[in-house]
């Protein structure tokens, strides 16, 4: 379930179709910029009773999903990427795994990478780039949501970049068309630049923008603990550098889209230097490091948000 027409999100004014007022993305605040991609424009909310669900499918983009199960119990199955996943989609495309199960479906479940029972209040994260299916098993109504996300881990960003690669063992008929996927990559370039700007300004900090409401104390505590964890901050920088290097090596489109700010931040990390200190900042670099290249900054204002029909007419879960 989504809004029919996009509206301003109540927290940051982003144009979205989600019906949720707060998302997982909001919990992390400035740290949400340290991802390859995070979409709440098309965030989905699922409502269903016992026996309803989403049949076997792979998302149109090879991304992951993060969300919360507010009410009811839901069974989720996910299969390994590549040949196993493709065969499961071929054999059981858009089919629910409802009892009683056939021998073929039982055998398919034995090949699953994960079989999970989601409970009320659970937060979940899984790859939508592999075959997966979900089934509501509560007596009452089930209610859950998801946001599409790609982390900076090179395995996650690398899988996402195979979305339109017909030579990839993970490619399936029904993937998002290249021209629409390049719109996703434009947002990726902006996301990488946001993180690069933070890196060159000394790293992320939990300073709320003036226009945004003060976050709950629990969120602030979580952010502060993450920001204070040196191992986490070091890992974010390592994954960002590895993903940017991978983008430059594998995607001509991203090589052209990424700004000088991203390249400067990458050079810094490859030289073994992490977050910049305040003493390194020059006044002019402070303002320019967060500015998008003129061509992309202009196109971002007018670019339409579009999505292709999902694989075989399904909705990602």
Give the domain extent around 46.
7-308
Q: Is residue 314 part of a domain?
A: no
2 is a domain residue? no
pTM confidence score? 0.84
Any domain includes 227: yes
Residue 313 resides in a domain: no
DSSP annotation of 292 reads: P
**225-236: per-residue pLDDT in tens?**
999 999 999 999
Q: Is position 228 within any domain? A: yes
Average pLDDT over residues 176-195: 96
- Residue 81 and residue 244: Cα distance in Å, rounded? 23
**What is the Cα–Cα distance from 288 to 281, expressed in whole angstroms?**
11
Confidence of residue 209 (pLDDT cuts 50, 70, 90): low
Give a yes or no: residue 317 inside a domain. no
- Number of independent structural domains in the chain: 1
In a domain, 315, yes or no: no
Name the residue with tokens 């300073």. 207
Q: CA 75, CA 118: separation in Å to the nearest integer?
A: 6
Per-residue model confidence as pLDDT tens digits over 238-264: 999 999 999 999 999 999 999 999 999
Decide: residue 54, CB within 10 A, 0-12 exposed, 13-18 middle, 19+ buried: buried
For residue 307, what pLDDT band results from cuts at 50, 70 and 90?
very low
For residue 316, tell me if it sits in a domain: no
For residue 239, CA distances in Å to 33, 151, 159, 167, 255 come to 13, 9, 14, 25, 18
């Amino acid at each position: 379930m989504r809004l029919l027409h996009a509206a301003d999100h109540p927290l940051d004014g982003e144009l979205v179709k989600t019906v949720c007022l707060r998302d997982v993305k909001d919990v992390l605040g400035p740290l949400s910029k340290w991802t390859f991609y995070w979409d709440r424009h098309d965030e989905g909310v699922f409502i269903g009773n016992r026996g309803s669900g989403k049949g076997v499918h792979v998302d149109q983009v090879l991304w992951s999903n993060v969300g919360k199960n507010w009410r009811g119990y839901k069974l989720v199955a996910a299969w390994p990427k590549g040949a196993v996943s493709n065969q499961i989609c071929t054999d059981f495309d858009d089919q629910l795994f409802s009892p009683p199960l056939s021998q073929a479906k039982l055998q398919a479940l034995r090949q699953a990478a994960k079989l999970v029972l989601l409970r009320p209040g659970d937060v979940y994260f899984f790859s939508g780039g592999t075959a997966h299916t979900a089934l509501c098993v509560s007596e009452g109504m089930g209610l859950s949501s998801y946001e599409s996300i790609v982390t900076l881990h090179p395995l996650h960003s690398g899988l996402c970049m195979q979305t339109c690669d017909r030579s990839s063992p993970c490619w399936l008929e029904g993937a998002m068309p290249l021209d629409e996927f390049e719109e996703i990559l434009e947002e990726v370039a902006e996301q990488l630049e946001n993180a690069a700007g933070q890196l060159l300004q000394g790293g992320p900090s939990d300073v709320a923008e003036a226009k945004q409401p003060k976050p709950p104390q629990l969120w602030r505590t979580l952010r502060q603990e993450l920001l204070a964890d040196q191992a986490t901050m070091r890992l974010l920088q390592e994954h960002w550098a590895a993903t940017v290097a991978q983008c430059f090596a594998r995607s001509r489109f991203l090589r052209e889209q990424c700004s000088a700010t991203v390249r400067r931040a990458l050079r810094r990390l490859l030289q073994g230097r992490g977050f910049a200190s305040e003493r390194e900042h020059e006044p002019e670099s402070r303002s320019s490091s967060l500015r998008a290249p003129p061509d992309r900054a202009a196109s971002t204002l007018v670019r339409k948000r579009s999505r292709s029909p999902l694989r075989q007419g399904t909705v990602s879960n």
